[in-house]
A = this chain, B = another copy of it.
């Protein structure tokens, strides 16, 4: 059954929804439509990871990018190389302000530690291997453990060379599994980035907004050892030679033109049931937003502006705030859309279709019913799950628990350990224990814990934890004064604040923990079994989902095939292709977003104050109408950013926007406000991706920064 959906790709030629994050191997089946839309290269090429253009596309882990020369030159978003600019900046030499350009290859500087370029080499269907040993009668927990063990084994085998990073990714919610093998290039250097006042123009204010005028691009170069294999940084390393690279178009695109984006979208939820959608938008997002706003207030109240404590929580605050806003936007978009109505309609359509045929009823009805029942079970505990998920914001107690868990896991053979506690995870684990020193303040942490325990104490009886109730002396009522005193005492007696002490626990045994008199360690030990029991119950539920959701997805795919609707898998960080057109939208009644913005828009927007502080040289060039060969005739000036119907999400940042010849015409870097809800619901009329135009990149390189060496290195076409 799990092969069914290939057939679903027989598309109605009358309309191709621009919705869809296609796996490379699906592209040939879309070929007639792709040709009709104007694709000028053989769609067959799009399925071959080792050919142009696919092997020019790389991942930075979280961002997408592409090779734009034979010498490992990588083009991606400014915000994707931002960490490396920051890392190389100092008060005396502030690259964030000035930008950076290596005029010669030996001037290139190391990117931030941990920067990687991943080249996807193989994507292999390993569904059978992943599900090996699983039968219809396998229990939830056993199914979960079997799949996990199989995945680990596949990954371990794949990573044996030491030069690859591998993953077993679930597609269609477990209907298929693919082993994805990526070459991991570890010596990455910063080559060029425009000034932040170009690369991040508009900043957070313009985030998710149109009109947009951001020069969101920058360059890395991938280096390998003299043997051509990935290596740590060394002066002797040489540029990586990819099989192919993208040419950069100086001609660019026009309204209505075919565009294609190939990159690594992170995660979407396009196939959730109506009950899940409703719960997410009417319960989870509003509640989680409140949680975040409460935490923000607590951090604000317990750390003076500008204090060391406030600085420590800067990135926590930014993240709390980002998602609080994101959730708010999600709710607003939901309330102003007919998303839930459409989802319910689709769902009744599916139900009727299943019910109208005896075979189908036998095949799919139980899966639909069982999935609904699992969702109900899951939602019944939503308050507890929400509170638990935020418990990690109390850094010190959760650190104790993670450290003890590590000691426990280390007793097992590596392959049997919980993911995150395996040998391959230990470097990152240690780094996260070090990072606490820069992101923690005792007063703030205690206030957060106090708040979380108050929220915890509001949970119904059956969701209460005996360990928590006992340690913090919480009964049917919470005595916040007493709780705060216990927090006070336990923090005072704990040595986990201290980085050396904390790191020492990384190497200690279970017995060391059990005999410790650190109260937070003690609590981690005494509450461990309870946590494991909860985790087990959770894995049992997940195992049940792993059984029934794929069957449900099979029904969805089969149903869509019956309606000639193609089905793509939810984004999962793997390589995907999206097809669309350059096109504006109507974001609101009475308002039209035009597809292009222009240089002159920068003049109109500039206030001289960050983030609207374009370099004065740039303003002068624009006033002098110094367009060079980069003007779009129909616009009469140089285009800066453009809108397209490409279907993208987080992770697509830096994705090459390509024309019909697979030449690079832009870089995807954001979506419009109406796209925020796009992870759940792609509305063709409203959803739009924003790219920085290749003509603007070339204009900045030529006229602003004189990056002639790179202009010469790249292949620029008209």
Contact = CB atoms under 8 A, between A and B. Distances in A.
Contact of A598 (B589, B593, B600): B589
A590 B335 contact: no
Contacts of A591: 210-211, 591-594
Contacts of A596: 590
A683 to B, nearest CB: 12
A601 interface: yes
Interface in A555-613: 586, 588-594, 596-598, 600-601, 604-605, 607
A212 interface: yes
A685 to B, nearest CB: 12
A3 interface: no
A210 B601 contact: no
A617 interface: no
Interface string A280-310: 0000000000000000000000000000000
A213 to B, nearest CB: 8
A210 B589 contact: no
Interface of A is mostly: mixed
How many copies of this kind of chain does the complex include? 2
Contact of A589 (B336, B588, B601): B601
| Size bin of chain A's contact surface | 20 to 34
B593 A597 contact: no
A604 B336 contact: yes
**Of residues A589, A593, A604, which shows the largest number of chain B Cβ atoms within 10 Å of its Cβ?**
A589
A586 B211 CA distance: 11
Contacts of A592: 591-594
A103 B333 CA distance: 41
Contact of A590 (B210, B590, B607): B210
Interface in A317-369: 335-336
B211 A590 contact: yes
A598 B590 CA distance: 8
Contacts of A604: 336, 588-589
B593 A593 contact: no
Contacts of A211: 588-591
A136 B116 CA distance: 84
Contacts of A589: 211, 213, 597-598, 600-601, 604-605
A643 to B, nearest CB: 8
A129 B650 CA distance: 75
Contact of A607 (B335, B586, B597): B335
A212 to B, nearest CB: 7
Nearest to A212: B590
A336 B604 CA distance: 5
Given A335-B607, A607-B335, A594 B590 contact: yes
A717 B209 CA distance: 43
Contacts of A601: 588-590
Contacts of A593: 590-592
A590 to B, nearest CB: 3
A600 B596 CA distance: 27
Contacts of A212: 590
Nearest to A600: B589
B590 A597 contact: yes
Nearest to A598: B589
Contacts of A605: 336, 588-589
Interface in A119-156: none
Contacts of A594: 586, 590-592
Nearest to A602: B589
A592 B591 CA distance: 6
Contacts of A210: 590-591
A598 to B, nearest CB: 6
Nearest to A594: B590
A640 to B, nearest CB: 8
A48 B89 CA distance: 74
A594 B210 CA distance: 16
Nearest to A595: B590
A591 to B, nearest CB: 5
**Of residues A336, A596, A600, which shows the largest number of chain B Cβ atoms within 10 Å of its Cβ?**
A336
Contacts of A588: 211, 601, 604-605
A641 B335 CA distance: 23
**Of residues A586, A591, A605, A641, which shows the largest number of chain B Cβ atoms within 10 Å of its Cβ?**
A591
Contacts of A336: 604-605
Interface in A606-659: 607, 641
Nearest to A590: B211
A81 to B, nearest CB: 26
Nearest to A586: B594
A268 to B, nearest CB: 24
A596 B336 CA distance: 20
A591 B586 CA distance: 10
A336 B605 CA distance: 7
A641 B210 CA distance: 23
**Of residues A593, A598, A604, which shows the largest number of chain B Cβ atoms within 10 Å of its Cβ?**
A604
A586 B635 CA distance: 13
A597 B213 CA distance: 27
Nearest to A589: B601
Interface string A464-482: 0000000000000000000
A591 B598 CA distance: 11
**Of residues A210, A335, A590, A597, which shows the largest number of chain B Cβ atoms within 10 Å of its Cβ?**
A590
A174 B22 CA distance: 73
Interface string A647-681: 00000000000000000000000000000000000
13 contacts: A211-B588, A211-B590, A213-B589, A588-B604, A588-B605, A589-B598, A589-B601, A590-B593, A590-B594, A590-B598, A590-B641, A591-B591, A592-B594
Given A213-B589, A586-B594, 6 more contacts: A335-B607, A589-B604, A590-B593, A590-B596, A590-B597, A590-B601
Interface of A: 210-213, 335-336, 586, 588-594, 596-598, 600-601, 604-605, 607, 641
Q: What are the nearest 8 A-B pairs in CB distance?
A: A589-B601, A211-B590, A590-B597, A592-B592, A590-B594, A589-B597, A211-B591, A589-B598
